[in-house]
A and B are shown apart, each in its own frame.
Chain A
């Protein structure tokens, strides 16, 4: 329907027939709103909302649909192939594994939004984990956890700042700068770990740091978390809808809010119940939710976030609008550095140690794949922070399932690569649809 209307506009723009019928209908209901008011064709009821959703789908705005279908396929496949996949034990493991990927992928989402790339994330995260671990070593220098964490994050954020400066001021593509960064920071990780330990592995003995990814909430705290998530979602959505209606703006229909809240409640309550039947909800899940909420807020509610999207969409337009494009870009790379550092600390906590292997393997591929599979476009300007979580959920489920099946490394790489390829193809197809039909 979207495409039909656009074509109508293009052919006979002055024709009254181009005005959608629902606009005219609504005009009759609200005589104070002029017929010309754009926006009155926004959905008012559940039916309209559903129609709009299917329209968007056809126009390449897929939202979370591929993720939902992907998860369904993954869960059914591994559920059939392996008995342990569905156990509560494995479910909490999955939550823990996902946290590291999702945390780093939040930073990747920001970088992709401005149509850049950061290939150094994995080793920058490792630098964060290693620096923290070294500072924590008892009596050498035996820093308190908060200080070690703060310094580690300061260093990774500074790395992001440095790379951002080189990319913006010297005009070198981020691909090349962060490729150099990949080598440099992997070298730094090796130097630090081997100079600190003969075997190249340094254990973490600080209880707080180990607890970051190895502690679990009590059952009650888990339920409180679920309640907070559900009520928070319902509250924010209702409040927004109420404000928009009060100002006479189109808003999300109550029926849709109710359905979404119920769906969220089912998933959340189910997850907490299942996790509680094992060790409980990991404490790290709380950290992840806080980070997701905070960065979603930054991306969608602040001027900074708006400018990030604008730069991804059209840097020249952003520059002419008076936005300090270089400053925003540098800040995005700092966000990347910070979130990489957080992820590195989490990874170190999970393993209770760091080693020469920190940041290696396929961590880089998996976090970038998480952001992309979650629906963040590689072409810039399209995507949401939550896609870091959704993508990480897919990637982790596949990794986890393949590990349970005991597949060989080679096979795992091939399958993960095929999934990433599929996600990128969906992205490219969606982009083509968006340009053809024209919805962003």
Chain B
């Protein structure tokens, strides 16, 4: 784990009309670290990752990626930087096989126009092997036939194929059973071992404590705590989620004046 952050958001804000979804949030991820992002519904978790992914821009604040100030204007640009997001719905085409899904939209071609199935199949297998995804029967199996955990594994493998440096996972274990959750969490740890920065959004604190190195807590659009997993307890985190100290009064126009507690 290196000390310089891979991604550093400083004082970022985002409003939708009258709603302040994010207010002056600081957020960072280091290489080789699993950073959990937790908070109640409406705390701003999704808004934060969507802004990082370039789906909408931050209103203000600074984003640094690999120590460079960046302005991300769309999903293509975040992908070019090496940021990949695995959304909750996974975005897999059930009728296509594993290889076709992993290369969807970035298919490799031979002599300029024909699909290079062999090279894609080889690389898909290599990536899955490197992540120790062992339960797939065949990479030529249609994704619709896979279990929830296998689908998640394919989606994660897809996200690391493209020399990505930061992988953001939105509720990767939400729909999974016990054994499959375990598999996916193992996979998350392996991503960090490959020196990628990993952000995992989860409501399940048990999962968070199993994989996360640090935990960022959002509450009502503000960052209320960044905790080291080793120095904290689930109760501390629950407390921060429900009653973390707010520096801005929600609902009021933010004029920069801080409210003292």
Name B104's contact: one of A41, A244, A249, A323 (CB within 8 Å): A323
Provide the residues of chain A in CB contact with B218, threshold 8 Å: none
Q: How far is the CA of A307 from the CA of B95 in the complex (A)?
A: 12
Interface contact A37-B104, CB-CB below 8 Å = no
Judge if B249 is at the interface, Cβ distance under 8 Å. Answer: no
Chain B residue with Cβ nearest A8: B135
Interface contact A313-B94, CB-CB below 8 Å = yes
Q: How far is the CA of A13 from the CA of B150 in the complex (A)?
A: 10
* A306-B107, A321-B105, A323-B105 given; A36·B132 CB < 8 A: yes
Mark contacts of B92-128 with chain A using CB atoms, 8 A cut-off: 1 yes-contact digit, 0 otherwise. 1111101011001111010001110010011001001
Chain B residue with Cβ nearest A3: B145
* Binding-face segment, A14-22, A132-140, A262-270: A14-22
Interface contact B96-A313, CB-CB below 8 Å = yes
Judge if A406 is at the interface, Cβ distance under 8 Å. Answer: no
* A36-B132, A302-B115, A322-B105 given; A312·B95 CB < 8 A: yes
Judge if A432 is at the interface, Cβ distance under 8 Å. Answer: no
Interface centre among B109, B115, B183 (most CB of A within 10 A): B115
Judge if A169 is at the interface, Cβ distance under 8 Å. Answer: no
Q: How far is the CA of A247 from the CA of B123 in the complex (A)?
A: 12
Nearest-neighbour CB distance to chain A for B105, whole angstroms, equals: 3
Provide the residues of chain B in CB contact with A87, threshold 8 Å: none
Interface contact B183-A310, CB-CB below 8 Å = no
Q: How far is the CA of A276 from the CA of B89 in the complex (A)?
A: 57
Chain A residue with Cβ nearest B144: A440
Interface contact B105-A34, CB-CB below 8 Å = no
Nearest-neighbour CB distance to chain A for B130, whole angstroms, equals: 10
Interface contact B147-A14, CB-CB below 8 Å = no
Provide the residues of chain B in CB contact with A434, threshold 8 Å: 144-145
Provide the residues of chain B in CB contact with A59, threshold 8 Å: 145
Judge if B76 is at the interface, Cβ distance under 8 Å. Answer: yes
* Binding-face segment, B36-44, B174-182, B200-208: B174-182
Judge if B91 is at the interface, Cβ distance under 8 Å. Answer: yes
Provide the residues of chain A in CB contact with B94, threshold 8 Å: 313-314, 381, 440
Nearest-neighbour CB distance to chain B for A392, whole angstroms, equals: 24
Q: How far is the CA of A301 from the CA of B110 in the complex (A)?
A: 10
Interface contact A6-B100, CB-CB below 8 Å = no
Q: How far is the CA of A13 from the CA of B87 in the complex (A)?
A: 23
Provide the residues of chain B in CB contact with A37, threshold 8 Å: 125, 129
Nearest-neighbour CB distance to chain B for A292, whole angstroms, equals: 18
Provide the residues of chain B in CB contact with A9, threshold 8 Å: 135, 147, 150
Interface contact A310-B104, CB-CB below 8 Å = yes
Interface contact B93-A381, CB-CB below 8 Å = yes
Chain A residue with Cβ nearest B138: A39
Interface contact B183-A247, CB-CB below 8 Å = no
Nearest-neighbour CB distance to chain A for B210, whole angstroms, equals: 15
Name A439's contact: one of B100, B129, B144 (CB within 8 Å): B144
Name B98's contact: one of A14, A38, A244, A301 (CB within 8 Å): A38
Mark contacts of A31-59 with chain B using CB atoms, 8 A cut-off: 1 yes-contact digit, 0 otherwise. 00011111101100000000000000001
Interface size in chain A (residues, C-beta < 8 A)? 52
Interface residues on B, range: 35 or more
Judge if B146 is at the interface, Cβ distance under 8 Å. Answer: yes
Interface contact A38-B138, CB-CB below 8 Å = yes
Judge if A235 is at the interface, Cβ distance under 8 Å. Answer: no
State which residues 306-324 of A face B: CB under 8 Å. 306-307, 309-310, 312-314, 316-318, 320-323
Judge if A327 is at the interface, Cβ distance under 8 Å. Answer: no
Interface contact B115-A39, CB-CB below 8 Å = no
Judge if B239 is at the interface, Cβ distance under 8 Å. Answer: no
Nearest-neighbour CB distance to chain B for A227, whole angstroms, equals: 26
Nearest-neighbour CB distance to chain B for A308, whole angstroms, equals: 11
Q: How far is the CA of A14 from the CA of B182 in the complex (A)?
A: 9
Q: How far is the CA of A37 from the CA of B145 in the complex (A)?
A: 18
Chain B residue with Cβ nearest A381: B95
Provide the residues of chain B in CB contact with A38, threshold 8 Å: 98, 125, 128, 133, 136-139
Judge if B18 is at the interface, Cβ distance under 8 Å. Answer: no
Name B91's contact: one of A10, A243, A244, A321 (CB within 8 Å): A321
Nearest-neighbour CB distance to chain A for B125, whole angstroms, equals: 6
Residues in chain B within 8 A of chain A (CB atoms): 75-76, 87, 89, 91-96, 98, 100-101, 104-107, 109, 113-115, 118, 121-122, 125, 128-129, 132-147, 149-150, 177, 179-180, 182-183
> Beyond the given A38-B137, A309-B96, could you list 18 further A-B residue pairs with CB under 8 A, ordered by the A residue number?
A6-B146, A10-B179, A13-B179, A13-B183, A35-B134, A41-B137, A243-B118, A244-B118, A302-B114, A313-B96, A314-B93, A316-B91, A317-B101, A321-B105, A322-B75, A381-B93, A381-B95, A435-B144
11 contacts between A and B (CB under 8 A): A14-B183, A19-B134, A37-B125, A38-B138, A303-B113, A306-B96, A306-B100, A307-B105, A438-B146, A439-B142, A440-B144
Residues in chain A within 8 A of chain B (CB atoms): 2, 5-6, 9-14, 18-20, 34-39, 41-42, 59, 243-244, 247, 249-250, 301-303, 306-307, 309-310, 312-314, 316-318, 320-323, 380-382, 434-435, 437-440
